Structure 1
Amino acid sequence: MAQGWHLAQINIGRLVAPRGDPRVQPFFDALDRVNALADQSPGFIWRLQDESGNAMGISYSPDPLLAVNMSVWEDADSLFEFVYRSAHTPVMAKRREYFERFEGAYQALWWIPAGTVPTVSDGLSRLWLLDRFGPCPQAFSFKARFPAPGEAGVPVDHQPDPWCMGNA
């Protein structure tokens, strides 16, 4: 666990159809179950949600099919376990059935001071940074993880863009 830091994540996607359409209904039917699983997962701290308990009813853009999800975790390993080694995994494996192929970065990870709640604007800016400059300490991916600020270590499997290395 990173002392004094938590890991924020954002992922976005464009649904293939609006809520209520049979093509995406299985995704919406799984939301409550997957969100409850996240809430109970080791290392989970926070997730974006509205009154219904999920983030799907919050509008972020003029495109009503754009879906945004954000959460905060103690560390990358906790998030990785939830995403790739829990009951979330089979639902995520069907994402191509529910979401269009996304051009550009659709997921970004970044470190935040413990106790901070990121905004959607924070997350969207991290996606832009990742898309524009590639993985760096301010916006990275599971494949190219960076250690929390002040911790020793090198990124996993990646040489960062020099621009990102000099800009916090």
Structure 2
Amino acid sequence: MTYQLAQVNYSRLLAPLDDPRLAAFVAGLEPVNAVADAAPGFVWRMQTEDGDATAIRAFEWDAGESAGVIVNMSTWTSIEALAAFVYGPLHVAFLRQRRKWFEKVERPTTALWWVAAGHVPTTAEAEERILHLREHGPTPYAFTLRRHFPSPDADPEDARDGDPGWLCPA
């Protein structure tokens, strides 16, 4: 069986999406998503039939006092492919501005896990993975880019389990 990498991340909004304080974030969504969609190794991104990922409801149990939660979920052919996008120039520039738009959360709001190729993960699966990561830390069931695990069908000789030096910039 072949596997793909699923990823989810969510953020607590500092203001509603139609608030002027989030205008730069909203304006950047389409270009950032277009880069992701065209990236080598990209497979799938969660969105409505209209192409709107911001309309997806999940993780509302963790909204706190925020203006709401925004969710991103996608699948990739490999950890390397996801990392190349995440640490690419456009996404990094966008990410650097996140404190203007999102609350700081002390617990993990991003999780990665392996799925069978072609499987479309659900928000319920994603919520379960985040909760598992929060309770147990990185494991093969739910992990991070910094502490990751090889796909279930990886050759153990080729696995670089959790070595962030080869993947994540310091």
Tell me which residue corresponds to 1:106. Answer: 109
CA contact (8 A) 1:32 1:53 kept: no
For 1:142, which of 128, 142, 145 is the aligned residue? Answer: 145
For 2:79, which of 69, 76, 79 is the aligned residue? Answer: 76
CA contact (8 A) 1:12 1:66 kept: yes
Size of the aligned set, in residue pairs, is 156
Tell me which residue corresponds to 2:13. Answer: 15
- Structure 2: where are the runs of 5+ without partners? 165-170
CA contact (8 A) 1:82 1:88 kept: yes
Tell me which residue corresponds to 2:45. Answer: 47
CA contact (8 A) 2:2 2:153 kept: no
Tell me which residue corresponds to 2:168. Answer: none
- Give how far 1:96 is off: 1.1
1:32 aligns with 2:30: yes
Tell me which residue corresponds to 1:116. Answer: 119
Provide the rounded CA distance (Å) in 1 between the counterparts of 2:111 and 2:126. Answer: 7
TM-score of the pair, normalised by structure 2: 0.86
Q: Which moved more, 1:142-151 or 1:63-72?
A: 63-72
- Structure 1: where are the runs of 5+ without partners? 159-168
CA contact (8 A) 2:3 2:153 kept: no
TM-score of the pair, normalised by structure 1: 0.87
- Give how far 1:19 is off: 1.2
C-alpha RMSD over aligned residues: 1.7
Percent sequence identity over matched residues?
Answer: 40
The one-letter code sitting in structure 2 at the alignment partner of 1:126 is R
Provide the rounded CA distance (Å) in 2 between the counterparts of 1:150 and 1:50. Answer: 31
The one-letter code sitting in structure 1 at the alignment partner of 2:162 is V
Provide the rounded CA distance (Å) in 2 between the counterparts of 1:77 and 1:54. Answer: 26
- Give how far 1:54 is off: 3.0
The one-letter code sitting in structure 2 at the alignment partner of 1:57 is A
CA contact (8 A) 1:6 1:112 kept: yes
